């Protein structure tokens, strides 16, 4: 196994990578469903903490595979088989999500994570066997770092059962340190355009899961309650939020920004909040629907916050990670930060919060397009005059 060319033209995601992403949606859906259950029951603190912990395991496993595949995907039989083993680990992890939420028992999640990580170690060792010099050392460091972190996870879960939050955070830091340490000597041959596409596709998949969750929530409510305007407002507002989230993320190209490891690692790590908040929007819409029809006995503000908080986090994080690099002028630059604050303020609107948040998202898109059009016209006019 040798590294692929970093400057390879027309590099695109493979069917195996798309299949890998699709299987991860199962785990994302499980995490979202348990978050809904916790919020509806009034256990917001425990639910959010459990969601963030489980989502880290999901996101980190996906991220590790995606960056490895960007550098070393040779699509032969051993590579395919090892990747399918990782997918099996994802499904085991997904099966353990309810137990992790309800009992804080991460044993099954850890078993699924172990399967994925051992397969990843095998991939890195295979890469090391085909490399020489600094590239070989980088691959060995990755394999060693992943293996050591996995030993740490298992040690924290012996005897099997609960995982302390402080111990979890320590292991998160250890996991995040592996890539920069491994690539301190020589960086892997990840492909900027391919990585940008992989993250974009996973964003689409997560937003698709949000649409699916919201649809099921509205359908379930209609099955047991008569249709009324509030459900339609939540459904319409949620749809506007998701449409705006998609538009804003894909409004600008980002692969040109990913020139080196420093920019790429910050961008890649920051997507934990992008993915987690995007998936949480769907869970929030479910909570808002259940609160509206009286199934969830929580205040209207809590049902609203379940949608507005992740929506605000998404808008601000997407601005921070890449859209700000393509904006010109204070007004253009301030659209998304102001929109995120405005969405958060919509929480105070009670039952009207979700549709209002959707309108704010749509206005943010409209303003962004308007400012961008003016900038392009000004640049074209300037080039015409200089010519």
What percentage of the chain has pLDDT greater than the value 70? 96
Neighbours of 110 (CB within 10 A): 24
- pLDDT band, very low/low/confident/very high, at 215 (cuts 50, 70, 90): confident
Query: Could you report the per-residue pLDDT of 301-344, keeping only the tens digit for each?
Result: 888 999 999 999 999 999 998 888 777 778 888 899 999 999 99
Query: Could you report the per-residue pLDDT of 258-312, keeping only the tens digit for each?
Result: 777 788 888 899 999 999 999 999 889 989 888 887 777 888 888 899 999 999 9
Lowest mean pLDDT among 63-77, 149-163, 182-196: 149-163
Q: For domain 192-386, is the CATH number 1.10.3470?
A: no
Provide the total of helices (H) and of strands (E) in the chain, helices listed first.
12, 0
Q: Would you say 350 and 292 are in contact if contact means Cβ atoms under 8 Å apart?
A: no
CA separation for the pair 72, 136 (Å, rounded) = 12
Residue burial 186-202, b: 16+ Cβ < 10 Å; e: rest: bbbbbbbbbbbbbbbeb
**What's the token pair of residue 252?**
């600008």
pLDDT value, residue 163: 67
Query: Could you report the per-residue pLDDT of 138-170, keeping only the tens digit for each?
Result: 999 999 999 999 999 888 876 665 667 788 899
Domain ranges (residues) in the chain = 15-182, 192-386
* Per-range mean pLDDT, top range of 58-72, 160-174, 317-331, 373-387: 58-72
One-character DSSP codes across 146-188: HHHHHHHHHHHTSSSSB--HHHHHHHHHHHHHHHHHHTSSS--
pTM, entire model = 0.90
Q: Between these two residues, 75 and 144, which has the higher pLDDT value?
A: 144
Residue 224 has pLDDT above 70, yes or no: no
CA separation for the pair 165, 49 (Å, rounded) = 9
Kindly report the average pLDDT of the chain as a whole number: 87
One-character DSSP codes across 280-332: HHHHHHHHHHHHHTTSS-S-HHHHHHHHHHHHHHHHHHHHHHTGGGG--SHHH
């Amino acid at each position: 196994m040798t590294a692929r060319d970093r400057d390879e033209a027309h590099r695109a995601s493979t069917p195996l990578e798309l299949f890998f992403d699709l299987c991860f949606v199962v785990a994302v859906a499980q995490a979202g469903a348990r978050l809904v259950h916790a919020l509806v029951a009034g256990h917001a603190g425990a639910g959010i903490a459990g969601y963030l912990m489980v989502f880290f395991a999901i996101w980190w496993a996906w991220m590790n595979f995606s960056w490895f595949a960007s550098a070393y995907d040779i699509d032969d039989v051993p590579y395919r088989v090892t990747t399918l083993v990782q997918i099996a680990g994802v499904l085991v992890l997904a099966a353990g999500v309810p137990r992790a939420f309800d009992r804080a028992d991460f044993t099954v999640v850890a078993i699924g994570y172990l399967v994925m990580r051992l397969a990843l170690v095998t991939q890195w060792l295979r890469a090391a066997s085909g490399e020489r010099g600094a590239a070989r050392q980088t691959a060995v460091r990755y394999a060693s770092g992943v293996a050591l972190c996995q030993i740490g996870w298992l040690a924290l879960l012996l005897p099997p059962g609960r995982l302390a939050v402080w111990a979890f955070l320590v292991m998160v830091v250890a996991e995040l340190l592996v890539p920069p340490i491994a690539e301190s000597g020589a960086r892997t041959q990840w492909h900027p355009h391919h990585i940008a596409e992989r993250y974009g596709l996973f964003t689409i998949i997560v937003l698709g899961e949000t649409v699916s969750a919201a649809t099921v929530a509205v359908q379930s409510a209609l099955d047991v309650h008569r249709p009324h305007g509030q459900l339609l407002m939540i459904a319409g507002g949620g749809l506007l939020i998701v449409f705006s989230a998609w538009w804003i993320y894909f409004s600008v190209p980002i692969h040109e920004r990913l020139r080196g490891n420093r920019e790429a690692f910050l961008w890649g790590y920051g997507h934990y909040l992008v993915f987690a908040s995007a998936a949480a929007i769907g869970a929030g819409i479910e909570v808002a629907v259940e609160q509206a029809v009286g199934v969830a006995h929580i205040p209207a503000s809590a049902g609203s916050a379940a949608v507005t908080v992740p929506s605000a986090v998404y808008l601000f994080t997407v601005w921070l990670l890449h859209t700000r690099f393509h904006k010109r002028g204070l007004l253009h630059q301030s659209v998304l930060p102001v929109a995120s604050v405005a969405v958060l303020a919509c929480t105070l609107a009670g039952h009207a919060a979700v549709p209002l948040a959707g309108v704010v998202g749509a206005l943010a898109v409209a303003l962004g397009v308007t400012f961008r059009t003016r900038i392009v016209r000004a640049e074209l006019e300037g080039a015409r005059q200089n010519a």
